[in-house]
Amino acid sequence: MARLQAAGLPCFGSVKDAARYLHNRLGYTRQAAAEAGSDAGFPTARVDEACRALPTGLVPEHTAKQLLSAAGIATTAGTIAATAEQAVQAAHEIGFPLAMKVVSAQISHKSDIGGVALNVRDEAAIGLQFEALRAAVAGVPGAVFEGCLVQQMARADAELLVGTHWDAQFGAMLTFGFGGTLVELQRDTALLPAGAGRTAIAQALAGLRQYALLKGYRGRAPANVDAIVDLIHRMGRLALYLGERLAECEANPVMVHGNTVVVADARAVWKEEQ
């Protein structure tokens, strides 16, 4: 088995596991073949251009969003501000209320260190929050404060996670489900090959425990499920196109409010082409 793994071939602990994998894989292959014509419009040229700006290793939020935007995925508008004065200027361009997030190459999960301020409503609050974010970074050994990302606020009746990762055995994989800061606690996600078609994605989405939240739960506006499926599908296509160079990519949260489906935060890990 070690020799098979070293050669990059799939390995299973039992015949039953192998048979289940083959059954599922063949099913997705048939669906992908049936929907092959739906992928013709993927914007490869724009994605290639965005990739030129990606740093090796951890890709910061603002740059990761530019990659997603190149793939046709909606993201919240934002500007990096190195000073409180620049943050005020950005706020007038974006509009209140807004969110402010730390920018630091050493910090990936900003909310874990108090690096996110929400519903900032005026210039005075910007100054206070800018210094609070600076202090939050100062509390992380080795972290350097580069400023903050000033971005528009987005409403949400539901928050989703959509992510991809490169698996040495199975290639590009696609994960999606209900997200936000409680994603690990909720454990309500699905895992598919990144090449899964829209039909397979829609079926897996409908199988999530909290799917009722997207259908107008307790008077909320029903979500545009087709738009959600399209976003997930585009993330999968992006991972499939970039292959192992895109080691990881995560959009969390994806804010869902009626017809609006927009990525509010994102991160990625980029590898140099071998």
Average pLDDT, the chain: 90
Task: Give the pLDDT confidence of 97-123 residue by residue, as tens digits.
Answer: 999 999 998 998 898 999 999 999 999
Task: Give the pLDDT confidence of 212-229 residue by residue, as tens digits.
Answer: 999 988 888 899 999 999
The answer to whether 63 touches 54, Cβ cutoff 8 Å, is yes
Task: Give the pLDDT confidence of 61-82 residue by residue, as tens digits.
Answer: 999 999 999 999 999 999 999 9
Measure Cα distances from 154 to 174, 210, 228 in Å. 24, 21, 16
Mean pLDDT of 249-256: 96
Q: What is the CATH number of domain 38-74+155-270?
A: 3.30.470.20
- Does the structure show a pLDDT above 90 at 186? no
Mean pLDDT of 45-64: 95
pLDDT of residue 237: 97
The CB density around residue 222, as the number of other CB atoms within 10 Å, is: 12
pLDDT of residue 163: 97
Domain map (residue ranges) of the chain: 38-74+155-270, 78-152
- Does the structure show a pLDDT above 70 at 23? no
CATH number assigned to the domain with residue range 78-152, chosen from the 4 options 3.30.1490.20, 3.30.9.10, 3.30.70.380, 3.30.930.10: 3.30.1490.20
